[in-house]
Structure 1
C-alpha cells in the first residue's frame, strides 16, 4: 500500500481495546476519524448489520473509501480489520516509517510475546479482579509481576516504544482508574492492598514504565484521566488539559459497573453471574 488512505476507527470511550489502536494511530501521526459506539446500553443495530457484521465488537478499522458517518456501511473495496492486536500489526505495516514494531526480528518476536502475555495472563487477572470474578489480590499482583519481568532495565517493552506497549497500557491505566473509583464489587481492603503493593519497591520497574508511557503525547491525546497511582506528580501541565474527557471516561465506567452489579451485563454482548456484594 503505497499511499495512506482514509482511516475510520469504531471505538468505545471506556474500552481498553480501541484505546490500543488510538495509541498506535497517534504514534504513527495518522489522520483518522472515530465513530463512537456505546457498550453500556444496546449497540445501534446498524453497527452489527452494516459494519462489523454478525460480531458487533469494537475496535473495528476501515482503511480506504469515503468519509463514513454513523449508520453508513463501509464500501466493500475498503480494507476492514478487527481485533486490536491485529489492527495494530496492520498499522505497523502501513506506517513503516513510524517504527510501531522494531525492524530487528528478535525484538519483533519479543514485542509479540509481550502483547500475547498481556492478553493471555494479565487481562484475565485484571478482569477477574475488577469485575469481582474471583481473582485474589496476589493473583492480580503475580500477573503484573510477570509483565514487569518481561521489561528491559530501561525504556519500553522492547526498548523503543512499540505496539507492545499499546497492548498493555490501556489495561494498566484502567486498573488505576478502578482502584480510584472503588466500585462496590472490590473489597476495600483488597483495593488498598493492591494500591500499597503497586507503590512499593516490588513494582518499581512497572511504576517507571507506566510513568514513561504516560509522559508520551500519544497517551495525553487518548487518555486524559490524569489522576494516576503510578505516576502521581510526574505529569506535565500540557497533559492536564481535558477534565471533561476524564469525567466522561469515569462516568462511562461507573455506569458500566452499576449495570454489572444489577444485571450481570458486562457489555452489550457479554453477561456474567451478578457479582456478590462484598
Structure 2
C-alpha cells in the first residue's frame, strides 16, 4: 500500500496541533508542514478550502481530503502505522485511553487555566487548590488502568509503551510549568504531595519524550505567548 501524501496545517504555539506533530514523529512519517499564524485572522483560502472554523491542526490527504480536530488527525496518522502500537488493540484499553484524555480535558485543564492565567493572587491560590483535587483523581486513573499480561512495566499509561493516552496530553504537560510564571507561585508544591506520586512519575517520563520536545517551543517563548490569556479575575 502506497503511503498517502500528507499536508499538515500547523501552528507551533498550539498544543492541540502538537498532537499531530508528535504522532508524525512517533510513526516516522513525513508530511509537508504549512504554518498558520493564529495571531492574525485566517486567510480566506484556509477558511474556504481547509477549515471554516480557522482552527489547527488540519490534515490534507493526497491533496484532496481534509481531516479536522486534533485527536482525529492524530488517530488517522497512527492508524497508518498500526505497528507503532500507539493505539491499543484491546477494546477496554481503547476505552480507558479515550476516557483518560476526556477527563484531562474536561476536569483538569479548566482548573489549570484558573490557577495559571490570572493575576489575582487569591484566585490563583484557589485555582491551585482545585487543580490539586483534580490531579489526585487523575492520579487514581493512572493507578487503576487495566494492563494486559503482555504490557511490560514502565512509566507510561500502559507501561513501557508510549501510546495515544500519553501523546494526547503531552503538549499540555509541557505547559504545566506556566503555573509558576505569572503569579509568583513559589508555593506550588505538587512534587511534595504523596497523592500525586504516580502522576509525577508519568509526567516526568512524558516530558522526556523526544517527539514532545521537538513539538514544543522553548519555555521563554511559551511564557510570552500565553501572556494574552492573563486576567485580573475570572
TM-score by length of 2: 0.82
Aligned to 1:62: 60
Cα pair 2:57 2:69 within 8 Å, conserved = yes
Shift of 1:110: 1.1
Shift of 1:92: 2.6
Equivalent residues in 2 for 1:76-115 (5 A)? Answer: 78-115=64-101
Aligned to 1:41: 40
Shift of 1:254: 1.0
Going from structure 1 to structure 2, the CA distance change for 1:79 and 1:211 (only over 3 Å counts) comes to same
Cα pair 2:78 2:87 within 8 Å, conserved = yes
Aligned to 2:176: 175
CA RMSD of aligned residues (A): 2.5
Of the candidates 185, 201, 220, which is equivalent to residue 250 of structure 1?
220
Shift of 1:179: 3.3
Cα pair 1:110 1:158 within 8 Å, conserved = no
Of the candidates 222, 228, 231, which is equivalent to residue 215 of structure 2?
222
What is the aligned length? 219
Going from structure 1 to structure 2, the CA distance change for 1:199 and 1:41 (only over 3 Å counts) comes to farther
Of the candidates 125, 130, 133, which is equivalent to residue 111 of structure 2?
125
Aligned to 1:26: 25
* Unpaired stretches in structure 1, ≥5 consecutive residues: 66-77, 224-244, 262-274
Cα pair 2:8 2:33 within 8 Å, conserved = yes
CA distance in 2, matches of 1:164, 1:83: 16
Aligned to 1:68: none
Aligned to 1:271: none
Aligned to 2:149: none
Query: Which of structures 1 and 2 has the larger relative contact order (alpha carbons within 8 angstroms, sep 6+)?
Result: 2
Shift of 1:101: 0.5
SS at match of 1:31: coil
CA distance in 1, matches of 2:38, 2:226: 8
Going from structure 1 to structure 2, the CA distance change for 1:130 and 1:102 (only over 3 Å counts) comes to same
Shift of 1:277: 6.8
1:19-58 CA-to-partner distances (Å, cap 9, x unmatched) read 1121111111111122221223333333223321x21011
Cα pair 1:114 1:157 within 8 Å, conserved = no
Aligned to 1:239: none
* Unpaired stretches in structure 2, ≥5 consecutive residues: 145-153
TM-score by length of 1: 0.70
SS at match of 1:81: strand
Cα pair 1:40 1:256 within 8 Å, conserved = no
Going from structure 1 to structure 2, the CA distance change for 1:38 and 1:80 (only over 3 Å counts) comes to same
Aligned to 1:15: 14
Shift of 1:117: 1.1
